[in-house]
A and B are shown apart, each in its own frame.
Chain A
């Protein structure tokens, strides 16, 4: 006879909420697992009526989508949360933001009114700040990269080293610059700081910021003197016929208004 999980009211989720949050400043060094623990504790602190799975070790019903790598800041991260009582999205946003440590900031919450949210996250826009790299050097490297048909990089994955193309996932790459970017990184490496903005399509395997930096090194010998600061500025659906990224919550808002 084996032990049965204790009888419990496994209250069903009556509502799903989609949360848009940012990972900023020093907390960009948190990993996906670090964020999961922080979020689950914040949900308890904020007294969000979480839906839990059944079984011996119940876990809260949370779906994570496509998180930015450790070390990369982000203005556009998303999770979906199931609750057992109806929650007000704006109150939820405020309470959850208050309960999370500064640097993990809740930007927006909507009630999920449409399916297939993850599939809607088609592309990301990344910003690379490169202290010590001047705009002309970065532009030249970008031109070389964009002129290639493919740029193969290697990454260590679960099954060993895998080679894959990065060029195909890059929809646009533009270079600007900003002198005197905050922080002493800039001054230590000279005042110039090229800014690259890259739009990538989400493909498998995903092309991540590290892969793009590796590609620029391989294709155009661009080797920044200090580690670039990378931020995901947006992710969501590609607006047809452009390389612009739309608001992934737009269909939910539209459905709620029409209902």
Chain B
């Protein structure tokens, strides 16, 4: 091979990548060229961001978080943002052989050239893909080994609410809404560079840490007790704040992003445009980390939503719009929104969908409204717990009566397929609670047959293993081991199969309990777990969220090696219940939730006591609004008609007709 020419920062590596593409599957995912993608000259800005969604392009490209931050940064004159995704093992192998670095898909710039690499972690199972990307980029895996010329690596996304397991690999972590976070970080990095990089890399990281809203692990020391528990987590420099707060964006209407959603050429998991109709959820489901860490509820107005739908459709040409949130039917004006949009787009072959809905009859009217133009996919409801008792424990306030009434309405209105989501392995759960899932499914089919007058209606039961997450009332709970999880699932499967009258109408979908244990280890782990991640990655762990790539044994072997000299093991992190007095690895990270309130809610859970939604009942002091100086922002605005769309002229018609 000839010696490669000296690499110019920001130069494209596409020529070298291109030669490898004929040999890999789905090469289109690596070439970029999406509609609405942005390319800026490297030298035209001070601050260069690479945003990574550490999973395959088909999963990462539609991610709303990355698309929002991409636009927010690129709107600035002093910064640019490009995107990068995990490359599949076939390309990884070729890139290593031919020394092609991890690249961005926008301008195919080398990841190592950027000032900041922002990693968006929706799930902990992306950690090994981060290591692959850093390694391919030639960026040292350990933050301590990086020097001035290397990017700073910042973690965000829900998993960043406990970044301790990756504390040695990232330079910083940000919790909460990213819009204002990236603007603040861009300002700090720009100023530091313009001042000639005072005090080098550490100087920059110190500036970030001093904000109190950016967590820089190197400025915190973790001390352990002999039994393995954490003794304390303390700042190791005088001015470093003891606690780091999350970001909370207020007034969604003034942040209408993404304004021009990306339209990938490659096929992705979401072939639609999404408009976020509100952020946060206060339903109070105790297993739900998203609901706990994104408080309070902040609605986008009906006017703001209509404008985003209209301009997004114009700019993308998508044929479907998803109205996105954690529980979309809870928007105070959802009926007006659904009707307004259905009216406006009637006859335009534009489909509307509500990805997350609750179980109540009102939602059937909504679903009817949204499927007016004829497209009717399945309806999905999430009772989560099989028994009434279980639903009280998790605070999912849905009665069997609600569910039966809702599905009867659905089957009566012509739906023939209903999906029900449940969890297995919830705190205090017994075999009997799980067997109630079968009972519930039978009742659903019985009611459906009566309501529709047909026997060919179906229901699909989908069950996921429960993984306790940080910053939830279940953060202290013992996770169910995978053997017991599998035993309960098999018992349920056998019960459904044995049912002659209804069994054939019920489909059951579940996964074994092993991946959940690894997720549990990564979710509630501390800095010592970082060694497990590194070992597993060295042993070949990649794409751990994909069952065909995941290996439980690889992770367990890695843990055995990494914990050889520690008083802890995988069970200690996963199936062990914590006491109130234990210092949790994320104790210094402030999601706004009051630790005492979380503990009380955990105790209420064990007593099967529910808690209401603060949108409709007085505040019950979860702590978020006080701590973060935020407020609930909900309608109704009273606006019932949508603003008129901009009048467009169809430029393709022959003149006489136009």
Let me know if B225 is at the binding interface, CB within 8 A: no
Measured between C-beta atoms, what is the minimum distance from B32 to chain A in Å? 7
Do residues A56 and B347 form an inter-chain contact, with CB atoms below 8 A?
A: no
Let me know if A27 is at the binding interface, CB within 8 A: yes
Let me know if B146 is at the binding interface, CB within 8 A: no
Task: Chain A residues near B414: list those with CB within 8 A.
Answer: 3
Q: Of A29, A47, A60, which contacts B652 at CB under 8 A?
A: A47
Let me know if B196 is at the binding interface, CB within 8 A: no
Residues A27 and B31 in contact in the complex (CB < 8 Å), given A91-B651, A185-B15, A226-B19: yes
Of all chain A residues, the one with the shortest Cβ separation from B27 is: A29
Report the count of interface residues on A (CB-CB < 8 A): 53
Do residues B31 and A183 form an inter-chain contact, with CB atoms below 8 A?
A: no
Complex CA–CA separation, A57 to B376 (angstroms): 9
Do residues A56 and B653 form an inter-chain contact, with CB atoms below 8 A?
A: no
Complex CA–CA separation, A235 to B323 (angstroms): 44
Task: Chain B residues near A96: list those with CB within 8 A.
Answer: 652
Q: Of B26, B267, B656, which contacts A37 at CB under 8 A?
A: B267
Query: A-B pairs with the 9 shortest C-beta distances?
Result: A41-B317, A45-B317, A44-B317, A26-B31, A29-B27, A227-B22, A6-B374, A184-B15, A47-B650
Do residues B1 and A188 form an inter-chain contact, with CB atoms below 8 A?
A: yes
Binds B, one of A97-105, A115-123, A141-149: A97-105
Let me know if B314 is at the binding interface, CB within 8 A: yes
Binds B, one of A81-89, A168-176, A193-201: A81-89
B residues 311-330 in Cβ contact with A at 8 Å = 313-319
Task: Chain A residues near B315: list those with CB within 8 A.
Answer: 45
Task: Chain B residues near A185: list those with CB within 8 A.
Answer: 15, 18-19
Do residues A26 and B33 form an inter-chain contact, with CB atoms below 8 A?
A: yes
Complex CA–CA separation, A226 to B318 (angstroms): 38
Do residues B2 and A187 form an inter-chain contact, with CB atoms below 8 A?
A: yes
Let me know if B266 is at the binding interface, CB within 8 A: yes
Task: Chain A residues near B266: list those with CB within 8 A.
Answer: 30, 34
Do residues B316 and A57 form an inter-chain contact, with CB atoms below 8 A?
A: no
Let me know if A240 is at the binding interface, CB within 8 A: no
Task: Chain A residues near B33: list those with CB within 8 A.
Answer: 26-27, 101-103
Let me know if B568 is at the binding interface, CB within 8 A: no
Complex CA–CA separation, A50 to B654 (angstroms): 15
Let me know if A42 is at the binding interface, CB within 8 A: yes
Measured between C-beta atoms, what is the minimum distance from B457 to chain A in Å? 12
Do residues A56 and B19 form an inter-chain contact, with CB atoms below 8 A?
A: no
Do residues B652 and A87 form an inter-chain contact, with CB atoms below 8 A?
A: yes
Let me know if B436 is at the binding interface, CB within 8 A: no
Given A3-B414, A183-B18, 13 more pairs with CB closer than 8 A? A26-B14, A27-B33, A30-B28, A31-B28, A41-B35, A47-B648, A48-B652, A58-B349, A70-B28, A86-B656, A88-B654, A99-B317, A103-B33
B residues 32-82 in Cβ contact with A at 8 Å = 32-35
Let me know if A5 is at the binding interface, CB within 8 A: yes
Task: Chain A residues near B93: list those with CB within 8 A.
Answer: none
Do residues B21 and A40 form an inter-chain contact, with CB atoms below 8 A?
A: no
Task: Chain A residues near B319: list those with CB within 8 A.
Answer: 40-41, 44
Q: Of A31, A49, A70, A103, which contacts B653 at CB under 8 A?
A: A49
Measured between C-beta atoms, what is the minimum distance from A12 to chain B in Å? 15
Task: Chain B residues near A60: list those with CB within 8 A.
Answer: 349
Task: Chain A residues near B21: list those with CB within 8 A.
Answer: 29, 71
Report the count of interface residues on B (CB-CB < 8 A): 48
Do residues B18 and A26 form an inter-chain contact, with CB atoms below 8 A?
A: yes
Do residues A101 and B34 form an inter-chain contact, with CB atoms below 8 A?
A: yes
Q: Kindly supply a per-residue 1/0 record for chain B positions 273-305, scoring 1 wherever the CB is within 8 Å of any chain A CB and 0 otherwise.
A: 000000000000000000000000000000000
Let me know if A52 is at the binding interface, CB within 8 A: yes
Let me know if B271 is at the binding interface, CB within 8 A: yes
Let me know if B372 is at the binding interface, CB within 8 A: yes
Task: Chain A residues near B317: list those with CB within 8 A.
Answer: 40-45, 99
Task: Chain B residues near A42: list those with CB within 8 A.
Answer: 317
Do residues A30 and B265 form an inter-chain contact, with CB atoms below 8 A?
A: yes
Let me know if A110 is at the binding interface, CB within 8 A: no
Let me know if B147 is at the binding interface, CB within 8 A: no
A residues 12-69 in Cβ contact with B at 8 Å = 26-27, 29-31, 33-35, 37-38, 40-50, 52, 56-58, 60
Do residues A88 and B22 form an inter-chain contact, with CB atoms below 8 A?
A: no
Let me know if B16 is at the binding interface, CB within 8 A: yes
Let me know if B375 is at the binding interface, CB within 8 A: yes
Task: Chain B residues near A92: list those with CB within 8 A.
Answer: 652
Complex CA–CA separation, A101 to B656 (angstroms): 30
Q: Of B15, B34, B655, which contacts A88 at CB under 8 A?
A: B655
Do residues A41 and B652 form an inter-chain contact, with CB atoms below 8 A?
A: no
Complex CA–CA separation, A38 to B264 (angstroms): 8
Measured between C-beta atoms, what is the minimum distance from A3 to chain B in Å? 5
Can you give 25 A-B contacts (C-beta < 8 A)?
A: A6-B372, A26-B14, A26-B18, A26-B32, A31-B26, A38-B35, A41-B318, A44-B317, A44-B318, A45-B316, A46-B652, A49-B650, A49-B652, A50-B349, A56-B375, A60-B349, A70-B27, A86-B656, A91-B651, A94-B651, A96-B652, A99-B317, A185-B19, A188-B1, A188-B19
Let me know if B373 is at the binding interface, CB within 8 A: yes
Measured between C-beta atoms, what is the minimum distance from B403 to chain A in Å? 23
Let me know if B263 is at the binding interface, CB within 8 A: yes
Task: Chain A residues near B32: list those with CB within 8 A.
Answer: 26
Do residues B373 and A6 form an inter-chain contact, with CB atoms below 8 A?
A: yes
Complex CA–CA separation, A255 to B402 (angstroms): 66
Measured between C-beta atoms, what is the minimum distance from B216 to chain A in Å? 38
Measured between C-beta atoms, what is the minimum distance from B426 to chain A in Å? 37
Do residues A183 and B651 form an inter-chain contact, with CB atoms below 8 A?
A: no
Do residues A87 and B653 form an inter-chain contact, with CB atoms below 8 A?
A: yes
Task: Chain A residues near B656: list those with CB within 8 A.
Answer: 86
Residues A8 and B652 in contact in the complex (CB < 8 Å), given A41-B317, A43-B317, A45-B315: no
Task: Chain B residues near A94: list those with CB within 8 A.
Answer: 651
Q: Kindly supply a per-residue 1/0 record for chain B positions 2-25, scoring 1 wherever the CB is within 8 Å of any chain A CB and 0 otherwise.
A: 100000000000111011011100
